Chains A and B, each alone.
Chain A
Amino acid sequence: MALDQAKREFRQVGTRPNRPDGVDKVTGRAQYGADMTAPGMLTGAILRSPHAHARIVSIDTSAAEAIAGVRAVVTGVDFTPQEDNFLRDVQENCMARDKALYDGHAVAAVAATSPAIAKAALKAIKVVYEVLPHVTDVDAAVKPGAPIVQAGRALENVPAGMSENVTNACEFGHGDLDAGFAKADLVIERSFKTAATHQGYIEPHACLASFTADGKADLWCCTQGQFFVRTLCSAIIGMEASQLRVTPSEIGGGFGGKTTVFIEPVALALSKKSGRPVKIVMTRDEVFKATGPTVSSSMDVRIGMTKDGRITAGEANLRYSGGAFPCGTCDMGAQAAFAAYDVEAVRTYGWNALTNRPKEAAYRAPGAPQAIYAVESVVDELCQKLGLDPLAVRLKNAAHKGTLSSYGPTFNEIGLEATLEAAKAHPHYTAPLGPNQGRGLSCGFWFNFGGNTCVSLNINTDGTVGVTEGNPDIGGSRASISLMAAEELGIPYENIRTIVADTNSLGYNDVTDGSRVTFSVGLATIKAARDAIAKMKARAARFWGIDEEAVDWVDGAAVPAGPNAGKFPPLTLAEIAATSPQTGGPIAGHYEVNVDGAGVSFGVHLVDVEVDPETGATKVLRYTVFQDAGKAVHPDYVEGQMQGGAVQGIGWALNEEYIYGADGRLQNPGFLDYRIPVASDLPNIETVILEIPNPGHPYGVRGVGETPIVPPLAAIANAVSRAAGVRLTELPMSPPRILKALKG
C-alpha cells in the first residue's frame, strides 16, 4: 500500500480531538473485564502450586465437590489433550497436567455460588506434590546438572551438548568478525544481566464465560485480541470457532501481556461443566505469579571501534529465559541488537533456556530492550574511553536507507539519522550538568508489524458514519481511526463512531500487537472509506446521469470531475446517505488485507540523572524522547506512547524486578515490592515527534507503540554510569546495587 504523496496537506489527521472513550473512562462508566455480569453467574477461582517445580502425584477434589454451592471443579484432565506444541504449552500454562512448573501454576479450579464458597472449596482440594529441584536463574539453568524443567523441548537448531533446558537458538549477521575486530583501536567486551519485569497493567485479567446447553459459548474478557482468544479457547475446549463468540471489554492496560489466555479456557471449562455463566477475576498476586512477565536475560557483548568512532565489528550472545515453556523472544532480541548501526561485521546469537518461572508473554518490543541495553552500554563505554561525543558516534555509524541491516533486510526510508540530528539540536543535549549528575543516550529500534486486518465502514442515513474494527483499543486507536475516516470522507470527526467488534462481526483481525493498529487498521479504514466513497460517487453519477469516472470526491461531497462532466451542485455525504434507501440501499465500505510495509521505527532517548553517592539513589532529572512516527495521526497519543515507554523503562532500569527466593517462590507479587514508578518519581517526559513518512502507508504512518520502551534501559544505564563514575551492568540499578558499585 503506497504512500499517497510525500507532502500531503491534512485537515484532521494531526489534530488532537478528545478520545471517544474518554468520558466513559473518567466517569467510571466504561466496562472493563470484571464489570461483566450475567444472571445465575458463578464465581470461578483457581488453586495454584505453592512449589516452583513439583510432580503432581494426585488431586482429590471430592471434599470440594461436596461443599454446598460448589457447582464445578476442573483439573488438567478436563482439558482436551493438544497435539500441537504451541497449543499444548498455552493450555498447560492455564492448567498444569503432570507437573507444576512454577510458583503460582494453576492446578485446579472451582466454580461456586459465592466468592467465600469458592475460597473454601480451593482449601478443600487435596493435591499431593512430589517436590522437584528447581531453577529460576537463566545462567544456572544452562549449567550441567541443572534441574530439567521440561525434557525434549529443544528445537533442531540447538547445538548438541547444550543443557536440555535450552530450547531455541538463533544467529543473525554478516561480514568477517575477526577482520572487523582487527581494524578496531579499542575492543570492549562486557556481560550484562536484566531482571524479568512485568507489564504492570492496572487492570487484572478478568473474564465471563457462558456455555449453553446446545454447545454454544460466549466469552467476554479483557484482551488485546479477541480473535486469537477464540482460536486458542476453541482449540483448548474442543469446539468450532463459529460456536464461540468472544467480545473484548475495555482494557486497563496490556502492553503485550494480554495477547494470550490465562483464565479464559478455565472459565469456559467451568461454565461447560456447571451449565452456568462463570466469572474469573485474577487478584494482583495471581497477575504477578501466573501471567506473563518479560524474559530475564544474561548477555555478552563485544564491540570494536576506531579512534575516530567508527564501529568495526560487533558481536552479541544473548541468553534469555521465557520461563517454563519454550519462547522465541531471543530471536527478536538478536535481530534488534545492532539494528541502529551500519556495521561491516556483525553477529548475534540468541538462546532461550527454560526456568521455573511463569511463561513469558509479550511486553512492548519483546526482547529488544534487553539486547539494545547491552549493545548501547558498550557503545557508550567505548565513547567514554576514546573521548568521543556519544551522539556524534551514533550519527557516524547510523543505519540509513540502503544499509544492510544486522538482521538481514536492507533498510528503506528510515528516520534514525533525522532523529539523532533532532537530539543533537535540542537544548537538552548541551544543557549543563551539576555534580553527581550524568547524561545518557541510547538509540532504539523496533520492526513493527502489519498483519491480518478487516474493517467495515457504514454510512448512516443521517450522514454519520460507524466504523467497525476488530482490535481492542489500548492506546487511543479509536480516536486515530476516526480521524483517518474523517480525513478520507471529508466529514467532521464528531460524526464518526468507531467501535471494537466481537469475533462474529468481522473477519479475523490479528492481535493488537506489533504497534500495528494505527498503521494497519488505519490503512484498512482509509481503504474502506475509499470503497464507500466509490459507492457514493456511483450513486451521484446515476443521479446526475453521468459516468462514475466523471465524479470526484471533494470535502465530503461528490462533485463533477471537471467542466466536461456537467454542471451539478455538489452532493454531500449526508445527502447521498439520506436518499440511499431509494438509490440502491445501504452504503458500506469494507476492506480486508494482510498488511505489509509496516516500516521500522527508530527512537533516541536522552536522560539526565543524579546519583546520591551516599545511598545509591537515582533521581531522573530530565528526559527527552525523539521518535519517528511517520505521520502522527493523533499527536497526544503518539506522545503518550513515547512518555509511557520512557516511564516503563525508568521502572525497569531502576527498580522493577521479579525477585525469587531460594525456595523458588516469587518474593514480591504486589505493587508494594514490585516497584513501578509513581508520579512523583518522574520528571515531565519531553517529546519530539519526527515525521519521516512510511512509504508503506497512504498517510505515511508508522507504528509508535513499542519503540519507546527500547532505549530507556540503556539511556538510563549510561546516565547512571556516567554520574556514578562506574559502569553498571545489571538491571535493575536499585540503590543497593549502585551503592555496592560505588564502593567498589
Chain B
Amino acid sequence: MRYMTAQSASAAAMALAEEPGKSRVLAGGTDLLVQMKAGNLTVDLVVDIKHIPGIRDIVPEAGGFRIGAAVANAELREHAGVCQQWPGVIEAAGLIGSTQVQGRSTIAGNLCNGSPAADSVPALVAADAVVRVAGPDGTHDVPVLDIPAGPGKTTLNKAQIVTSILLPARPARSGDAYLRFIPRTEMDIAVASAAVNLTLDATGTVTAARVALGAVAPKVVLVEAAAKAIIGTKLEDAALSALAQACEAACNPIDDKRGTIAFRTSTAGVLARRAAKIAYDRAQGSANAGASK
C-alpha cells in the first residue's frame, strides 16, 4: 500500500487517476481506517488530503459558509457563525461517533463514505448544501443530493475528491433540525433519521421547506411531498400528520438487525414531525433574535 500526502487538490486527483489499483481518500479516516483494520478493505493507494491549503478552513461566502473537506466536526461545532445559522447541520455533525471520533471525522467524509445512515447527510440535503468537487478536469459544484448513489457508493469517479461543502445563505425566520433514532443514547448508527429545514413569513406560516430522511432507503431521500404538506401551514396537527404520512410513503427501508421495515417507516414519520417542530421553533426564535437586535 502506498500513502501519499497531497499538497493540492489537482495533485490528489492526478494521483488517484493514475492509480491502477484500488485507491481511497483519507480525511479524518474514521471510516476508512476502521474498514482497513477490520480486514474488509485492502487498498493500493491512500491519498491524505488534510494538507491541501485551505481544506481545513471555514470561510464565509455569499451569506453562507464554505466548509473545507478536512474540517473536523469538533472544529465545525465550535464555529459560532455556522452554529447560529445551521443548528440542524451542527447537531447532525455532532452525532457522528464519539468525542474522540469528533476530533477527526468530517462531514465531507461522512458524505463520501456513502452510508445510507450517515447523520450529516440528511441535514446537508435539507440545507440544500452544494459540494465542490475537484478532479483532473478542474472543479465543479454539485448539489449534495446528487452525491450518494447507494450503500457505500457515490456518483464521484475514482479521481474526484470533495474539497468543500457550501452551506448557503438563508432568509430571515429560517430554522433547521435533525433527529435520529438509535436504541441507545449515543455511540450508535441511525435506524431512521429526519432533517427539516424551513422558512416562515412574518405571520409564522411556512413559506419554504425541505425534508430529508436517512436510513430508510438505499440513499438519503428528499421528500418533496412532505415539504408540500407543511408549506402554507403553521404546523397545525393536520399538517404534521400529512408530513409524517408523506415521509412514511417515501420510505423504502431494509429489514435488518438494526430495525424492521415497519419500525423504520413509522419512526421516520415520527422523527420528521418532531424535527419540523424544532425547526419551526428555531425559525421563530431566529425571527425574535433578529427583532431584538
Contacts and interface: CB of A to CB of B under 8 A. Distances in A.
A677 B186 CA distance: 9
Nearest to B38: A285
A74 B250 CA distance: 54
Given A617-B181, A617-B183, A734-B183, A659 B257 contact: yes
A672 B117 CA distance: 14
A678 B185 contact: yes
B185 A681 contact: yes
B181 A680 contact: no
Contacts of B266: 614, 739
B270 A678 contact: no
B188 A672 contact: yes
A735 B184 contact: no
A655 B263 CA distance: 15
B59 interface: no
B263 A678 contact: no
B183 A735 contact: yes
B267 A615 contact: yes
A667 interface: yes
A740 B262 contact: yes
A59 B266 CA distance: 49
A397 interface: no
Interface string A660-687: 0000000110001101011011000000
B189 interface: yes
Given A675-B184, A677-B184, A735 B263 contact: yes
Interface in B257-273: 257-260, 262-263, 266-267, 270
B43 interface: no
B187 interface: yes
Interface string B244-287: 00000000000011111011001100100000000000000000
Interface string B57-97: 00000000000000000000000000000000000000000
A677 to B, nearest CB: 7
A736 interface: yes
Contacts of A659: 257
Interface in A577-616: 614-616
Contact of B188 (A616, A675, A734): A675
Given A614-B270, A615-B270, A739-B263, A673 B184 contact: no
A681 B270 contact: no
B257 A668 contact: yes
A332 to B, nearest CB: 30
Nearest to A674: B257
B257 A678 contact: no
Contacts of A616: 263
A735 B259 CA distance: 9
Given A617-B183, A681-B185, A673 B263 contact: no
A519 to B, nearest CB: 35
A615 to B, nearest CB: 5
Interface in B118-134: none
A680 B185 contact: yes
Interface string B146-189: 00000000000000000000000000000000000101111111
Given A667-B257, A677-B184, A678-B184, A672 B189 contact: yes
A681 B260 contact: no
Contacts of A740: 260, 262-263
A164 B267 CA distance: 43
A363 to B, nearest CB: 21
Contacts of B260: 736, 740
Interface string B175-213: 000000101111111010000000000000000000000
A409 B181 CA distance: 49
B183 A675 contact: yes
Contacts of B257: 659, 667-668, 673
Contacts of A735: 181, 183, 191, 259, 263, 267
Contacts of B184: 655, 675, 677-678, 680-681
A43 to B, nearest CB: 15
A293 to B, nearest CB: 16
B273 to A, nearest CB: 9
Contacts of A655: 183-184
Query: In this complex, which of B39, B187, B189, B259 has the most chain A Cβ atoms within 10 angstroms of its Cβ?
Result: B187
B262 A680 contact: no
Interface in A711-744: 734-736, 739-740
Contact of A680 (B183, B186, B256): B186
Interface centre among B39, B189, B263, B270 (most CB of A within 10 A): B263
A680 B99 CA distance: 13
Contacts of B181: 615, 617, 735
A368 to B, nearest CB: 26
A466 B186 CA distance: 45
Central interface residue in B183, B184, B258, B270, by most chain A CB within 10 Å: B183
Contacts of A675: 183-184, 188
Nearest to B259: A736
Contacts of B262: 736, 740
Contacts of A734: 183
Contacts of B259: 735-736
A659 B258 CA distance: 10
Contacts of A617: 181, 183
Interface string A429-472: 00000000000000000000000000000000000000000000
Nearest to A668: B257
Contacts of B263: 616, 735-736, 739-740
Contacts of A119: 39
Nearest to B271: A615
Interface in B206-235: none
Contacts of A673: 257-258
Contacts of B270: 614-615
A229 to B, nearest CB: 29
B187 A678 contact: yes
Interface string A105-122: 000000000000001000
Contacts of A614: 266-267, 270
A681 B184 CA distance: 6
Contacts of B39: 119
Contacts of B186: 678, 680
A668 B259 CA distance: 13
A736, A739, A740 pick with most chain B CB within 10 angstroms: A736
Contacts of A654: 183
A277 to B, nearest CB: 25
A739 B263 CA distance: 8
A621 to B, nearest CB: 13
Contacts of A615: 181, 267, 270
Contacts of B258: 673
A464 to B, nearest CB: 42
B137 to A, nearest CB: 39
A617 B192 CA distance: 13
Contacts of B185: 678, 680-681
A662 to B, nearest CB: 12
A651 to B, nearest CB: 10
B118 to A, nearest CB: 15
Nearest to A285: B38
A634 to B, nearest CB: 31
Nearest to B187: A678
Nearest to B98: A678
Contacts of B187: 672, 678
A735 B267 CA distance: 10
A63 B272 CA distance: 56
Interface in A87-145: 119
Contacts of B267: 614-615, 735, 739
9 contacts: A615-B181, A655-B184, A659-B257, A672-B189, A673-B258, A675-B183, A680-B186, A735-B259, A740-B260
Given A668-B257, A677-B184, A680-B185, 17 more contacts: A614-B266, A614-B267, A615-B267, A615-B270, A616-B263, A659-B257, A667-B256, A672-B189, A675-B184, A681-B184, A681-B185, A735-B181, A735-B183, A736-B259, A736-B260, A740-B262, A740-B263
